[in-house]
Amino acid sequence: MTRRNCRTETDVTQTARIWLMAMLFAAAFALAACDQANGTGKDKNGKDAKDEVPAVPVEVAATRRAEMAAVYTGTAPIESERAAFVMPKVKGEIRQVLVDEGQHVREGQILARLDGDQLRLEVALAEATMRKLERDYARNTELQAKGLISAVSIDNLKYELEAARASWELTRLQLSYTDIRSPIGGTVTRRTNVVKVGNTVTPVGGVIESTDSALFFVEDLDTLMLRINVPERELAKLEVGQIAELGFDAVPSRAFTGKVALISPYVDDETATFMVRIRITDTSGLLRPGMFARVAVIYERKLDALQIPRTALLDGDGPPKVFVVKDGKAAERPVQLGLSNGAYVEIVTGLKDGEQVVVVGQAAIKPGATVRIVNTPARPSARTQPAVAAG
């Protein structure tokens, strides 16, 4: 073999060795990368890389005890418990208007006067007829005692006299109706446009009293109430005497209270609701009929309920659960819920006083994960708020 051929074989051998070393290095690098991805790599201290997974940052809140109330919520306008439509009882021209809207009136006070000229004449005619029959009856009674007239004649005259007296009383009653009076004490809240001097008003026979047929509307502003329609599923929770908290946009700086005065035994088959009447216990002169109220009827109250923020509850099916943080680890724990309001829920079982639950960051952790608390655990305690049950 010549020197040239030997040199060629040597070059080929060296080239093959270089390619083999490159392939071995690439394989070793790929294997190391795979080990690191699978968590089997080692750090500089010889520990597994999976032990160095960083802790998940979370925010926690400690369980607190505070008062919590369960309520049914609804809305309704205020009504006056004592209210009256004042209507004309006889036809007549308005001669005087004595009150206006906003004025307080007594029971029986005259609100307006109609002309009574024709009725006064009818009273005079009925009285004259009655007086004549009284004289005739007295004279015939003397004659009947002497046997000059029959008993039948005197009886007929007696009946005529009684009819005349009734006619006289009726015309007097009709005349008294020209003074339009308030049937109750209260405040004139409405006076219709027809109530003006010179207008002729007529009673509306057979029509239920309403704002369309009334001249005045008088309401007692000290006896205010409201009606709410409650779903039938809440019937067992409500009782007469329960407290209702009331809020009004017209008086935002003041809280009012009421009491359940009546629970209707009738359930509307179309709406599946029943009516609850709430009497406002103290109006302080600030409330008026027609104001819109937000109602919260308290049917259960707990003075020392264990509470956590609602945001601590985990999303998902099944029973409610929370993450409890202890010694830097997150443990999943099922809980039983009680009352609730907009921000907090009551915990009946599953947690103890002072335990810390995760309120932010639950989606990034799993049971047993290492966590790092990034906030001050002592959050403000749950304020006393009504627990919304329906509405």
* Res 385: pLDDT: 47
Task: Report whether pLDDT(151) > 50.
Answer: yes
Task: Report whether pLDDT(204) > 60.
Answer: yes
Q: Which has the closest alpha carbon to 263: 287, 221, 234, 292?
A: 234
Average pLDDT score over residue span 126-152: 86
Task: Report whether pLDDT(269) > 80.
Answer: yes
Exposed / middle / buried, residue 365 (Cβ in 10 Å: 0-12, 13-18, 19+):
buried
Cβ atoms of residues 387 and 345 within 8 Å: no
The whole-chain average pLDDT of the chain stands at 83
Architecture of domain 85-219: Beta Barrel (2.40)
Task: Report whether pLDDT(73) > 80.
Answer: yes
Query: How do the domains of the chain map onto residue ranges?
Result: 56-65+305-388, 73-81+220-301, 85-219
Half-sphere exposure of 65 (CA within 13 A, CB side): 9
270-283 pLDDT tens trace: 999 999 999 998 88
Report d(CA 145, CA 388) in Å as an integer.
87
* Res 377: pLDDT: 61
* Res 146: pLDDT: 77
Half-sphere exposure of 282 (CA within 13 A, CB side): 7
**25-29, 164-168, 188-192, range with the lowest pLDDT:** 25-29
* Res 52: pLDDT: 60
Q: Which CATH code for domain 73-81+220-301?
A: 2.40.30.170
Q: Which CATH code for domain 56-65+305-388?
A: 2.40.420.20
* Res 2: pLDDT: 43
Kind and range of the H or E run holding 276 = strand 273-280
* Res 17: pLDDT: 54
- Percentage of the chain modeled with pLDDT above 70: 81
Report d(CA 280, CA 243) in Å as an integer.
10
Exposed / middle / buried, residue 314 (Cβ in 10 Å: 0-12, 13-18, 19+):
middle
**141-150, 185-194, 223-232, range with the lowest pLDDT:** 141-150
305-327 pLDDT tens trace: 999 999 999 988 889 999 999 99
Residue type for 386, please? P
Residue 207: how many other CB atoms lie within 10 Å: 10
